[in-house]
Structure formats: C-alpha cells, structure tokens
C-alpha cells in the first residue's frame, strides 16, 4: 500500500478545509441570519445550529464503518456531493427551523471526513505526525477562511450567498476528486498492516478511553472558541474596531497563526512520546484562558491568539494516537466511534454557547474553559508510557 500521490493528498487536505469552513458559516453569519429571521438577539438563534455538530459526531459511526468496509474513495465522493447540496439547501431556507434541518443534514455529511479522509491520507505514510500536522493546518485554514470569506460575502451579497458560493465550489471539488483519485483495489478492512506500537489489549483499551475523553474536552474548547470568537471580538473590541469585515480579517489571522502550531506539533509527534507533549500543551492553555477572561481590547486579542495556538496545537494528538496504536484496516471504525462519543459531547458547546453568554457573559465562559483544560490534563496523566523510543510505522507487507 503506497501513500497517496501529491494530487490526492492536496485534495484530501482541501477537503479538511472545506469540512471546517462549512461548519462555521452559520456561526460567522449568525447576526445577519438572526436579523433576517426576526430574532432580536443572535444568542437566541445559535442553538438552531447544534444539530450540525451533533450529527458531526453521531454520523461518524456509520461513516467510519463504511469507510473501512466499502471504501474510502467512495465515501469521500459522498462527502463532497452531500456537503455541496446541503449548503445550497441552507441558502434557500426561509425560517429558523428550516435552516436547522439543513444544517443538521450538512452535519451528517461533514461527519464523513475525519474517520475517512484522515485515515486515507496517512495510509502508508512514513512520517504520519508530519502528515497529520499539515492536514490540521489545512483544516484550520478552512476555519480562518470561514471567518474571512463569510464576513466578506455577508457584507457584499447577504448571508445566503455565504452558503451558496462555497456549496457550488464543493461540488466542483467532488468532480475533480472523482477524476484524480484512483479506484481502490480493495476496501481497507481486507488489508494487512500492523500498528506502529503494539500494546496489550488492556493497555490499548486504556489509551482509547483516555483519547476519547481528552478529545471530547478538546472538542468542547474547539467548538466554544471557533463558534464564539467572532462574537467575543465584537464585544471586547467595541470602540476599537466596528467593521465586520475587519473583525473577520483579525479572526482569520488568529486562526492562520494558530494553525501553524499543528505543523510544529505534528513534527514533534514523530520524534517524541505523545504523553509529555500533550500534557504540556494542555496545561499551558489554563493560564491563557484565564487571562483572556479578564482582558479587553488588544490585550484580549493577544491572549486569544496565544490560547488558540495551544488549542489548535492539541488537535493532532487524537489522530496521531489512532495511527500509532491502531492498524489501518480498522482505523476508520475506531475513529468513527471516538468521534461519535467525543463530538457528541462537544456538540453541547454549540447548543449552550448562546444561552451561556447571554446569562453569564464571556468572562465566566472562558474561566469554565480553563477548568475544562485542567481536567483534560488530569485525564492525559492516565496515558501509559510508550515502550522504548518512538516507533516508526510498521513495515507494510504489501509494499515492495
């Protein structure tokens, strides 16, 4: 089994950007949508987007199973077509409940990428950490693009075009993917490839439990920040910057800088054990989130930038854990179960974000996030140590 070609890897990385971009269009455009649908406050509309993030988790179970048993190429084609059509449907909605249904459908298709696209990208990779780091950069540049492009499209053409234009682009990418990516000779479940580090069943179960809980906590922080940062900047920079497009540009800069952390962390993962790296990054989030809870103006912007660097820097550990400890023939299914549990929990962040900010404010929310980071560090302490030096990926019997 050879690693994907550069063209295939590029399309898979672009698909990661698309996945995150589409999930954040609603959060970025929520003020304009709320006004159009007759809501007096954006916080009251925000819970209608929770279905997308709930299905992003629950949908990963069947997506991961089909990825292993049916084929990853086929599932990625379903991803592109489903995401594109769902975005076009969202653009045509006329009420909050119609939009909620369209976003939930979009969440079903968005669930495909992580348990299918990432295992497809790292299969046969000689340096999986670096590959995951670049892939994480791509996904988070999609987040940055959502903040910037959605803000510009809403200002120039209205919120409906912020869904429609990316939807058409996604369909075009699906056509290109079908042309460029070769058919799979066999589904992943029939391949033979051992994990890089082989653990006893009890230790492997412990690793997967810790990974899932830590991933759920990281997902809470990720969803609370990426869905709330736009409104946080709007509130804390009021009187300094008022233009929505400029705020979108500042937020895009935060995500672009923070995304680079994943490349650095990915390279470190290839060289060092996972546990001390992950523990250090998670612990460093605590004081920065506490600082952001009290800061205003440009001080808040600096604290937010540093916090997002560490939150994004913690993302590659989940996929790196799966690559290091799970053999390729079942990685999509393991990733699907992990996502269903962790993303299902973290979807509560989207549902509760608006009501929490409305009742307690961003300062209390950010302090609670610091508490989540501290709890995550306690969970990571339960990871077992890795035997010996960091192992290289096991040799693939199918490769010459």
* CATH number of the structural domain spanning residue 147: 1.20.1250.20
Number of domains into which the chain is organized: 1
Over residues 227-274, the pLDDT tens digits come to 888 889 988 998 888 777 788 888 888 988 888 888 899 889 888 888
pLDDT at 17 over 50: yes
% of the chain surpassing 70 pLDDT: 90
Over residues 118-129, the pLDDT tens digits come to 888 888 667 878
pLDDT at 293 over 90: yes
38: left (phi over 0), alpha (psi -120 to 50) or beta: left
Closest CA to 177 of 107, 121, 259: 121
Of the pLDDT bands very low, low, confident and very high (cuts 50, 70, 90), residue 394 is very low
Task: Return the percent helix, strand and coil in the chain, to nearest 5.
Answer: 80, 0, 20
In a domain, 216, yes or no: yes
- Contact, 237 vs 301, CB < 8 A? yes
In a domain, 109, yes or no: yes
pLDDT at 371 over 80: yes
In a domain, 391, yes or no: no
Q: Average pLDDT, stretch 3-10?
A: 82
Closest CA to 321 of 215, 245, 237, 394: 215
In a domain, 396, yes or no: no
In a domain, 397, yes or no: no
Can you give the pLDDT at residue 399? 34
Over residues 30-83, the pLDDT tens digits come to 989 999 999 988 888 988 988 898 888 888 889 988 988 888 899 999 999 999
Can you give the pLDDT at residue 326? 78
* Residue 163 parent element (H or E): helix 159-180
Of the pLDDT bands very low, low, confident and very high (cuts 50, 70, 90), residue 164 is very high
CA angle, residues 203, 204, 209, in degrees to nearest 5 = 100
In a domain, 386, yes or no: no
- Our measurement of the distance from residue 90's CA atom to the centroid of its chain's CA atoms, rounded to an integer in Å, reads 21
Mean pLDDT for the chain overall: 85
pLDDT at 388 over 60: no
In a domain, 22, yes or no: yes
In a domain, 399, yes or no: no
Over residues 338-348, the pLDDT tens digits come to 778 777 777 67
Can you give the pLDDT at residue 190? 65
Task: Report the distance separating Cα 237 and Cα 334, nearest Å.
Answer: 42
Q: What is the pTM of this model?
A: 0.73
Can you give the pLDDT at residue 365? 93
Supply the range of the domain harboring residue 373. 6-182+195-380
């Amino acid at each position: 089994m050879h690693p994907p070609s550069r063209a295939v890897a590029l399309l898979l990385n672009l698909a990661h950007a698309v996945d995150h971009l589409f999930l954040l269009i609603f959060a970025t455009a929520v003020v304009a949508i709320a006004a159009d649908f007759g809501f007096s406050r954006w916080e009251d509309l925000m819970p209608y987007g929770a279905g997308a993030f709930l299905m992003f988790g629950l949908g990963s179970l069947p997506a991961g199973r089909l990825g292993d048993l049916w084929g990853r190429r086929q599932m990625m084609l379903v991803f592109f077509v489903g995401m594109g059509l769902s975005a076009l449907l969202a653009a045509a909605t006329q009420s909050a409940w119609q939009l909620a249904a369209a976003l939930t459908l979009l969440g079903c298709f968005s669930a495909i990428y992580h348990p299918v696209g990432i295992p497809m990208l790292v299969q046969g990779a000689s340096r999986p950490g670096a590959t995951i780091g670049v892939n994480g950069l791509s996904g988070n540049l999609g987040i940055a693009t959502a903040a910037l492009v959605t803000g510009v499209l809403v200002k120039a053409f209205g919120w409906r075009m912020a869904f429609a234009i990316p939807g058409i682009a996604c369909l075009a990418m699906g056509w290109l993917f079908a042309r460029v990516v070769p058919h799979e000779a066999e589904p992943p479940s029939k391949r033979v490839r051992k994990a890089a580090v082989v653990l006893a069943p009890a230790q492997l179960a412990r690793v997967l439990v810790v990974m899932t809980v830590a991933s759920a906590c990281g997902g809470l922080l990720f969803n609370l920040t990426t869905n709330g940062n736009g409104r946080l900047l709007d509130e804390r920079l009021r009187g300094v910057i008022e233009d929505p497009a400029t705020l979108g540009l500042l937020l895009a800069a935060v995500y672009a800088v923070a995304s680079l952390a994943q490349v650095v962390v990915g390279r470190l993962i290839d060289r060092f054990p996972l546990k001390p790296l992950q523990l250090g990054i998670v612990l460093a989030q605590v004081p920065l989130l506490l600082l952001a809870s009290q800061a205003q103006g440009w001080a808040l912007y600096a604290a937010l930038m540093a916090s997002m660097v560490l939150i994004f820097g913690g993302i590659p550990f989940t996929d790196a854990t799966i690559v290091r400890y799970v053999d390729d023939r079942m990685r999509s299914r393991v990733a699907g179960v992990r996502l269903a549990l962790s993303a299902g929990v973290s979807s509560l962040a989207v549902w509760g974000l608006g009501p929490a900010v409305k009742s307690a404010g961003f300062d209390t929310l950010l302090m609670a996030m610091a508490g989540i980071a501290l709890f995550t560090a306690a969970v990571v302490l339960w990871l077992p140590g890795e035997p010996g030096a960091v192992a290289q990926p096991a040799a693939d019997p199918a490769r010459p």
